Amino acid sequence: ILTMLFSLSVISNVKAEEFVAKIGDTNYASLDEAVKASKDGDTITLLQDAKATKTFYKSLTFTGGYTVSIDVYGWRYNGDLVFDGANLSINTDANSPVANNGEAGRWFTMVLNGSITAKNGANITFAFDSASGTNCAIYTGNKGVTINVDNKSSFRIYGKNTKGISGQGIQLDSTANTGIFVTNKSEFLIDGTNRGYVNSPEIYVEDSTFTVQNCTSNGSNGGKFTAIDS
């Protein structure tokens, strides 16, 4: 009887709310631990809202309905980042730490070499304050970069203090095979940046909304734009 009571006591000390994320059947106490343990292409299930203190460079999918938050500037991301019914909130201001990837530029939040996808009710938000020296949310370094927003999801970029500061929500190095695709009752928004999107990607919007507003300079410089029932 004593042995049984002791065993029950040990089990009861492992509380589900202490875990932040899991990969398969393995639970992790922090998001940083889960990301470090993950392999390229893994799915991380969020068990609660979680903050990442380190940037990463793997292709990962996040699920679980909760939010990943990151305060950072200068993140050079290579890979395919998917939020499937989960959320991402990236903030860049004077208090944001530099990304741990070397060659980090103060002027951007992320250099994207790959893709970002929000689907199945996911919400992705980039917010930057140009008073901190950051003037660009996403800069794309390679050909073939895509942003996908599908099935009642949203992708929003907010700029602050951008008047008179040359910068943009999204800027492309190359437009080849690069695009923003917003489909199935989803939303794409750029709000308050100096310029909306520059060296324009292909824009495809179907049964959804695409908005560029409150720019302190111009909204875009053209490019192929398709809107269907949108």
Q: By the 8 A CB rule, do 43 and 63 touch?
A: yes
pLDDT at 82: 98
Q: Exposed, middle or buried: residue 39 (CB in 10 Å: 0-12, 13-18, 19+)? A: exposed
pLDDT at 220: 81
Phi then psi dihedrals of residue 176, to 5 deg: -65, 125
Task: Enter the pTM of the model.
Answer: 0.90
Give mean pLDDT in consecutive 10-residue pieces for the chain, a chain of 230 residues.
42 64 98 98 98 95 98 94 98 94 85 95 97 93 85 97 90 77 97 90 94 91 89
Closest CA to 133 of 107, 109, 168, 162: 107
pLDDT at 62: 98
pLDDT at 165: 87
